[in-house]
Amino acid sequence: MTVQKSAPSAVSRSAATRKRTRIQQEKEQLILEAALDVFSRHGFRGSTIDQIAVQAGLSKPNVLYYFRTKEAIHRRLIDRLLDNWLEPLRGINQDGDPLSEIQSYIRRKLELARDFPRESRLFANEILQGAPHIQEELHDLRDLVDRKSKIINGWIEDEKIAKCDPKHLFFSIWATTQHYADFDAQIRVVLGPKEDGNDRFEDAARFLDQLYVDGLRK
């Protein structure tokens, strides 16, 4: 099922009825932050308005005043997530140095995993459930990947990087970078208490440079 971004349920009640006051904006953000915690832990199907209300410290009617449905809250979070999540991919520049562009993309993906782990898990949960709310966006992603794959194929044809399958290159980068957000609990245990701080992202960046940048070097 495709959920259109312009659907009324995707707009908060206060935003749809009148200009929001500062307090209303703060309440909306409080609800969205609480919902992000709930959705990232339980997925869309396993989450309820009651859980979001408890997490936000608000009554259920108060939450429903700002957002008519659970779907509306989820839609807002997904829209915000995708805007940030796809920006590094959009930023790959055909005229840049190929290895530098790939390295920069990997670094930005790692930064997103470090700074927005809940958003990463929200997206992962949506995909694991069959992506029922973002089918349209996945088609947009496919088109974006097609365009960026043409850039990489051009670099390969110009013998600027080693031969590879661009789409599987993107899949593997997504898997290795987002792993640090989606499987954070596992990583912390495996690395141990002396290595589970933010330094792990610098260690990951150095390793992924070796894996991808050195691996694609001609």
Instruction: Return the domain boundaries, the chain.
Output: 8-77, 86-216
pLDDT of residue 141: 95
Count of other CB atoms within 10 angstroms of residue 185: 9
Q: Report the pLDDT averaged over residues 167-188.
A: 95
Q: Is the pLDDT of residue 120 over 90?
A: yes
Confidence of residue 20 (pLDDT cuts 50, 70, 90): confident
Distances (CA, A) of 130 to 85, 143, 175: 19, 19, 17
pLDDT of residue 53: 97
User: Which tops the pLDDT comparison, 68 or 8?
Assistant: 68
pLDDT of residue 197: 66
Per-residue HEC secondary structure of the chain comes to CCCCCCCHHHCCHHHHHCCCCHHHHHHHHHHHHHHHHHHHHHCCCCCCHHHHHHHHCCCHHHHHHHCCCHHHHHHHHHHHHHHHHCHHHHCCCCCCCHHHHHHHHHHHHHHHHHHCHHHHHHHHHHHHCCCCCCHHHHHHHHHHHHHHHHHHHHHHHCCCCCCCCHHHHHHHHHHHHHHHHHCHHHHHHHHCCCCCCCHHHHHHHHHHHHHHHHHHCC
Task: Answer whether 98's CB lies under 8 Å from 148's CB.
Answer: no
pLDDT of residue 83: 86
Q: Is the pLDDT of residue 36 over 70?
A: yes
Q: Is the pLDDT of residue 8 over 70?
A: no
| Distance of alpha carbon 78 from alpha carbon 156, whole angstroms | 34
What's the fold here for domain 8-77? Arc Repressor Mutant, subunit A (1.10.10)
Confidence of residue 2 (pLDDT cuts 50, 70, 90): very low
Are both 8-77 and 86-216 of the same fold? Answer: no
What's the fold here for domain 86-216? Tetracycline Repressor; domain 2 (1.10.357)
Q: Is the pLDDT of residue 7 over 60?
A: no
User: Which tops the pLDDT comparison, 116 or 198?
Assistant: 116
Computed on alpha carbons and rounded to an integer, the radius of gyration of the chain in Å comes to 20
Q: Is the pLDDT of residue 191 over 60?
A: yes
Picking from 5-9, 57-61, 120-124, 211-215, which range would have the lowest pLDDT averaged per residue?
5-9
pLDDT of residue 12: 56
Q: Report the pLDDT averaged over residues 170-179.
A: 96
